[in-house]
């Protein structure tokens, strides 16, 4: 993964999509300007669903992800706005 990120950077790419498991290594290897988009983000206590490499919003943000992809925990919630607000609160805590 680090080799591929290095090749992408050499080709002029500014970031990548990476699971929560790769965030810390990418941040260390590629530095703070490397943009990391992280799917598989699930609020604490949420079901993993079909995702096997997950993290909480707080953990993903602390590890250094710039953008978090939180799909179904928000879109399938009875109140999506409240679910999104809860994710933001979790990140801030």
Domains delineated in the chain: 2-92 (3.20.20.70)
% the chain with pLDDT above 90: 77
Q: What is the dihedral of CA 41, 42, 47, 50, to 10 degrees?
A: -10
Q: Which of the four pLDDT bands, split at 50, 70 and 90, describes residue 9?
A: very high
**What average pLDDT does this structure show over 49-59?**
85
Three-class secondary structure assignment of 10-74: HCCCCEEECCHHHHHHHHHHHCCCCEEEECCECCCCCCCCCCCCCECHHHHHHHCCCEECCCHHH
């Amino acid at each position: 993964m680090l080799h591929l990120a290095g090749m992408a950077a050499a080709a002029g790419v500014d970031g990548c999509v990476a699971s929560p498991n790769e965030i810390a290594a990418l941040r260390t290897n590629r530095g703070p300007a490397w943009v990391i988009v992280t799917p598989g983000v699930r609020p604490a206590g949420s079901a993993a669903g079909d995702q096997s490499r997950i993290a909480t919003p707080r953990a993903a943000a602390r590890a250094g992800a710039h953008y978090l992809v939180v799909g179904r925990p928000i879109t399938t919630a009875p109140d999506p706005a409240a679910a999104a607000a809860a994710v933001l609160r979790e990140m801030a805590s």
